[in-house]
Chain A
């Protein structure tokens, strides 16, 4: 049996410095190759080799992680299929992103115990161990569903349920038109209607997916870098954030990069301040910008606080750095308001129209409240209320939601092309089924139940 390629994180979550994303199946190498950039393409390297390179997001060309990739071709592997192991070291967030990329580019999320199951089915594991394999699958499933259930409680579950119910109402209206074409008590569901409704559904799912980012930020902290030229007030800012917010200082041991991380809490959002050691010790991060390590830190940052001196004009160096961060979340802090204004803020605004700019005098605590509001607003824009404090965080859920977005996008596209409603319906049904999988619901009879409870049908 030719099996689909599966992927999952094969190291225990949250433990150890290195995490491995493992792929198994006929397309394992090809999928990894789509994401990999190194000296040679993975399809051309020898079996059982380890290869240094980067995982890139093919859509954005952004480098996600520096990795070592092990290539093991069938049959001398655990599953007797082609196996690729991507060794990451960038913490759980990066590992999840690598996993999501493999899923987006053709792999399927492995079921609990599936690598072992394949090893067995492909004859890799001894027959006498079959009993063990079956028990293993059972226990892994129980464990996984326990975790998934924990992560899918309360508001989030009812949110998905409500969303599914609204899709179901649309579906029922289309189905009633089809199965009871003469029934006169329901409006004909047109493609315009479906288009409009599908758009609403898509927005809702996108909101949910966004909550996955928010949830992760809440759990893991928002990786934040403070940079700027010497003597603009970086240390003051850091000290202010730390003093004012009961910082938790962690020395993340065992990471290969030796970066000090400090956690501070800003309006309920944990910021993970990266490379703060650099700011404290040398205060010359701008000079160090050429150093690969700092570049990487900057690139991975989800928030960059760029500190400028109100008392100095904008330099070419500033422009160069700001330009390089064009795709990232940057807040420019024009500090030292207490001094004479030499910096042309209007010029700064017109150069970077989308960028958030806050004026402060940190030593006088001026403007810092606004800065905190801006940081929170950048990531939560009031949506923190809509989905409560429960968030999509399970990789399987995220994967399903992404598939749901792609299905609903197909439905919208079909509706735009004005294809018949029952064809648009195909992708709408798929969206509804995927959302059902998120909350683990058996979908088989629901639509028909809905049909007969909503409409008075029958000859």
Chain B
């Protein structure tokens, strides 16, 4: 065997989790190797060609504020971008971009290639080298060994992947790539709890064969939008998407062929996500709904492939053709790829520490779909955290655990490691109890400092952030000191906005608090030209308008923070605490919570168990002091 190569960190996989993990580790100065089965498929989007959306879009902003890559790459390679939920409150606004799939991959690959400490290499890992429950490296399918102090597994749906199409079932990774079977076997042999999950994708059709006149146009926003706080060049030349619907005929075809669908013939054993059902599922579960939305999304500028969002299916190919032809606008559509379902192995994520290191094997990290999630953004967020933590641990630095009030990424990871998941996990805004604090607009306010401390945010960017923060604070202070007189100008603008006329003078800040008023009109009333950027004055507006609600949320966060300060010793033996209820004890032993706050979020652990735990820990502390 050839002489072994030595790296600090090896990343297995180069999907959305892998690239963030590899970049974070390399950028923290560690020699990093990224191994991928196919170098042409770096950051590939096997499913929908889009990034962002409610909750997910905020994750992309968080990734950016922590020094990750996803936001910057999509900003350069999208075909359209939209801000969603603009009619609602600031907490639920979110960006979504349609990606040019090929450009996205190329751009991400270029970034990886340019990274000095990062080697990217085509190769399939068959085995991890493990000694004394500690990972030491990996061995590829051709026998090469790469030694490493830490390994991050980001295998997506490749682990024992199986594609299912009608009555066909064959071993495969997504998009008919090579699956990773020996590694899946090793995971099992190591004693990891494995679940079988399923997901699926719809057919793609040729754009030239679509009759767009029968569909509705869905253009992007015609204002500059970007995910990254650093983006300064905006793509204004955008491509639209199109909306159509299934027909009665579609439903009939599906019902007639249900026995052929892999989902209903018993071929599929894995648990699929409820939020991403196949069209068969939708029609069976909601049979009273006369039609379902179908979005036609171009896969890029230089391809005629169009993604038929909403028609995810595992029907046989000929049935898929019939289904397509029954959709208005797609009567003559020429299918380019058939939809399929894919089953894969995932780790039960309660086997992970909140740092994403496995509890079983030291210095082994997992991120992305292998942890039971779905979605590119969820993967990227985890990859970034796993990369940061693997590197931090090797460097002897403090590991990063984001709390549920810091970031959606914190909510995501806490949900996974504390509660686990019984279906592919997707972030939803309703999973975040501090939703009002975890906004699109303030991702940088929440996380830039942390990103800078970790070393992934440059000093220059950090300084610019400090200026922005200061400008916002200064402006709020200024508005507190200015009194607006009830003069003609003020009254006319207030009337225009539909507000009630002023009786007396009012502080500018109080006027801004009125629901109907905005920052712009306050400036007009004050006959003032603002020096703030739009992002800055949006912050002012939100912080002023929602101050009461934000304060309320912060109070709740304080309560949790107090519990987070009560750490649970790593060597705690739950078996000796007799007063714990049996269910609570079992759950605590599995999850191994780091602090009382995390313990209290485990279902089955009730307040009495928490009290008992507190008493026990206190007793231990006293003993330690006395010893």
A interface residues, Cβ below 8 angstroms from B: 1-2, 111-114, 117, 120-121, 123, 127, 130-131, 133-135, 137-138, 141, 171, 175, 177-185, 414, 417-423, 426, 442, 444, 447-448, 451-452, 456-459
Contacts and interface: CB of A to CB of B under 8 A. Distances in A.
B431 A422 contact: no
Contacts of A120: 615, 618
Contacts of B601: 444
Given A137-B608, A179-B54, A181-B54, A422 B91 contact: yes
Contact of B312 (A131, A419, A459): A459
B515 A419 contact: yes
Nearest to B421: A445
A127 B623 contact: yes
A146 to B, nearest CB: 13
Given A138-B608, A138-B612, A178 B429 contact: yes
Contacts of B515: 417-419
Interface stretch (B203-211, B272-280, B526-534): B272-280
Contact of B611 (A117, A123, A419, A457): A117
B549 A423 contact: yes
Contact of A112 (B286, B310, B608): B608
Interface in B391-433: 419, 428-431
Interface string B600-614: 010100111001101
A114 B611 contact: yes
B522 to A, nearest CB: 18
Contacts of A123: 622
A178 B92 contact: yes
A452 B275 contact: yes
* 4 closest Cβ pairs, A-B complex: A420-B89, A141-B608, A134-B579, A456-B286
Contact of B619 (A130, A138, A141, A184): A130
Nearest to B415: A444
Contacts of A418: 515
A426 B90 CA distance: 13
A442 B273 CA distance: 22
A358 B84 CA distance: 65
Interface in B62-95: 84-85, 88-92
A111 B600 CA distance: 15
A193 to B, nearest CB: 13
B89 A422 contact: yes
B54 A137 contact: no
B562 interface: yes
Contact of A179 (B273, B430, B546): B430
A422 B618 contact: no
A448 B428 contact: yes
B289 A422 contact: no
The prevalent SS among residues of A at the interface is helix
B429 A175 contact: yes
A422 B435 CA distance: 9
A1 B55 contact: no
A141 B92 CA distance: 40
6 contacts: A134-B616, A179-B428, A183-B293, A417-B515, A423-B546, A456-B292
Interface string B92-133: 100000000000000000000000000000000000000000
B436 interface: yes
A181 B579 contact: no
Given A120-B618, A134-B615, A423-B549, A456 B89 contact: no
Given A134-B579, A444-B419, A422 B88 contact: yes
B350 interface: no
Contacts of B503: none
A342 to B, nearest CB: 56
B603 A444 contact: yes
B600 to A, nearest CB: 12
Contacts of A183: 293
B48 interface: yes
Interface string B346-380: 00000000000000000000000000000000000
A80 B9 CA distance: 51
Contacts of B428: 175, 179, 448, 451
Contacts of A141: 606-608
A113 B289 contact: no
Contacts of B551: none
Given A111-B611, A459-B48, A130 B616 contact: yes
Given A117-B611, A459-B48, A177 B88 contact: yes
Interface in B145-204: none
Nearest to B427: A179
A448 B615 contact: no
Contacts of B276: 458-459
Contacts of A414: 549
B289 A456 contact: yes
Contacts of A452: 274-275
Contacts of A442: 603
A117 B430 contact: no
Given A138-B579, A456-B289, A458-B274, 16 more contacts: A1-B565, A111-B608, A137-B579, A171-B430, A175-B430, A178-B430, A179-B429, A419-B549, A422-B88, A422-B91, A422-B92, A422-B429, A456-B286, A458-B277, A459-B295, A459-B312
A133 B48 CA distance: 56
A117 B619 CA distance: 12
Nearest to A137: B611
A130 B295 CA distance: 62
Given A120-B615, A417-B515, A456-B292, A178 B85 contact: yes
B282 to A, nearest CB: 5
A273 B102 CA distance: 86
Contacts of A444: 419, 601, 603
B503 to A, nearest CB: 19
B361 to A, nearest CB: 29
B467 interface: no
Contact of A451 (B92, B430, B552): B430
A456 B295 CA distance: 15
Nearest to B623: A127
Contacts of B622: 123, 127
B247 interface: no
Given A121-B618, A130-B615, A458 B275 contact: yes
A141 B515 CA distance: 46
Contacts of A422: 88-89, 91-92, 429, 435
A442 B607 CA distance: 12
Nearest to B55: A179
B579 A178 contact: no
Contacts of B92: 178, 422
Contacts of B581: 138
B538 to A, nearest CB: 15
Contacts of A175: 428-430
Contacts of A447: 430
Contacts of A419: 89, 515, 546, 549
A414 B293 CA distance: 34
Contacts of A127: 619, 622-623
Contacts of B619: 127, 130
Of B84, B419, B546, B611, most buried by chain A (CB within 10 Å of CB) is B611
A121 B54 contact: no
B543 interface: no
Contact of B436 (A117, A171, A426): A426
